[in-house]
Amino acid sequence: MATKLETETLIEVLRDADRIAVLTGAGISAESGIPTFRDKNGLWKKFRPEELATPTAFNQNPRLVWEWYDWRRGIIAQKEPNPGHKVLARWEKIFPALSLITQNIDGLHQKAGSRNILELHGNIWKLRCTKEGTITENYETPLKDIPPLCSGCGAILRPHVVWFGESLSSTILQKAFLLSSQCEVMFVVGTSAVVQPAASLPFEASEAGAKIVEINPDPTPLSPYIDFSFRGKAGEILPLIDKDLKRKSTAQKE
Ligand code: APR
């Protein structure tokens, strides 16, 4: 856990930094009541990703896959951003160039007011036509039709998310690596840092000279390589760092 001195050093680093990148994972939404994937009560402890989150699974049984996504949409629709999401939305206004790179598909960063977001793994509120590729937003919970069909061509719609075995959008990925290589500080919040290519972004940043800050109650494969480690919950740690940041900027003005 970062000591008081380390936190003060981090605040100094942040005050001198212009370009900040934040990589988030399911852990930042845990305090909002959305299950993570790999924690003890995580989704992948209860469900088999190969049956629910692969293109093969969808082709074999689109109804089963859609019932699962409809269930997740139902949960997420009732959840609100927590203080962790809100601090990042505030930082977007106070730091000249803050980039939020998320693995989350829940849309809670947007709900908290963040705007400059790169969604690496898509968004559960977006549907994509399997024939035309058109993407539409849909917030129906529960979905009227399972599987939902394209209003244009009648083909099955799929969740606009990245499944295992699928590539990420090359445009989004290139931008994520570029922002990582240009940032001066990267926060890595609530990710187990095991899923590629997202898990490589902190190394891209570190190799380019950025300071890496990890916020996670548990250690990850990234932990040995970071500069500032906060062992705790994002919804508690981010407000603490933000408070120190505010206090420092007020002190400077006086
Ligand atoms: N605050 C911060 N971190 C937390 C909190 C919290 N309140 N609660 C749990 N965590 C941490 C866990 O310790 C764990 O390291 O969040 C991490 C969640 O890890 P995963 O469940 O593996 O989620 P994530 O890293 O986002 O998964 C990456 O895998 O399943 C795919 O596409 C899916 O985007 C997802 C990707």
Task: Give mean pLDDT in consecutive 10-residue pieces for the chain, a chain of 254 residues.
Answer: 77 92 98 94 88 96 97 98 98 94 98 97 98 98 97 97 97 98 98 98 98 97 96 96 86 66
Write out the E strands in 131-179: 135-137, 157-161
Nearest to 231 by CA among 79, 37, 7, 42: 7
Amino acid identity for residue 26 in this structure = A
Strand ranges across the sheet with 211-215: 117-119, 97-102, 19-24, 185-189, 211-215, 228-230
Model confidence, pTM: 0.96
Task: Report the separation in Å between the CA atom of 26 and the middle of ligand 1, taken as the mean of its atom positions.
Answer: 4
Q: Is 92 in the pocket of ligand 1 (CB under 6 A)?
A: no
In the block, residue with structure tokens 């005050």:
15
User: What is the model's pLDDT at position 252?
Assistant: 63
DSSP at 26: G
Q: How far is CA 243 from CA 29, 99, 185, 249, 250, in A?
A: 21, 20, 18, 10, 10
User: What is the model's pLDDT at position 246?
Assistant: 87
Q: How far is CA 12 from CA 15, 76, 96, 195, in A?
A: 5, 36, 16, 31
Q: Could you confirm whether 121 is annotated as catalytic? A: yes
| Whether residue 224 has a cis bond before it, omega within 30° of 0 | no
> Mutate which of 28, 31, 32, 36 to test ligand 1's pocket (most atoms within 8 Å of Cβ)?
36
Nearest to 82 by CA among 190, 209, 201: 190
Give the CA radius of gyration of the chain: 19
In the block, residue with structure tokens 């926060």:
187
**Active-site residue, selected from the candidate residues 85, 109, 121, 160:** 121
Find the length of the chain. Answer: 254
Q: Is 130 in the pocket of ligand 1 (CB under 6 A)?
A: no
For residue 161, give the 3-state DSSP assignment: strand
User: What is the model's pLDDT at position 96?
Assistant: 84
Count Cβ neighbours within 10 Å for each residue of 28-58 and write b for 16 or more, e otherwise: bbbbbebbbbebeeebeeeeeeeebbbeebb
Cα–Cα distance measured from residue 175 to residue 118, given in angstroms and rounded to the nearest whole number: 8
Cα–Cα distance measured from residue 13 to residue 19, given in angstroms and rounded to the nearest whole number: 11
Which residue's CA is the nearest one to ligand 1's atom 8?
27
* Chain centroid, CA 4 distance in Å: 27
Contact (Cβ atoms closer than 8 angstroms) between residue 233 and residue 36? no
Q: How far is CA 132 from CA 109, 150, 156, in A?
A: 29, 9, 10
Task: Report the separation in Å between the CA atom of 207 and the middle of ligand 1, taken as the mean of its atom positions.
Answer: 23
Burial zone of 181 (CB within 10 Å; 0-12 exposed, 13-18 middle, 19+ buried): middle
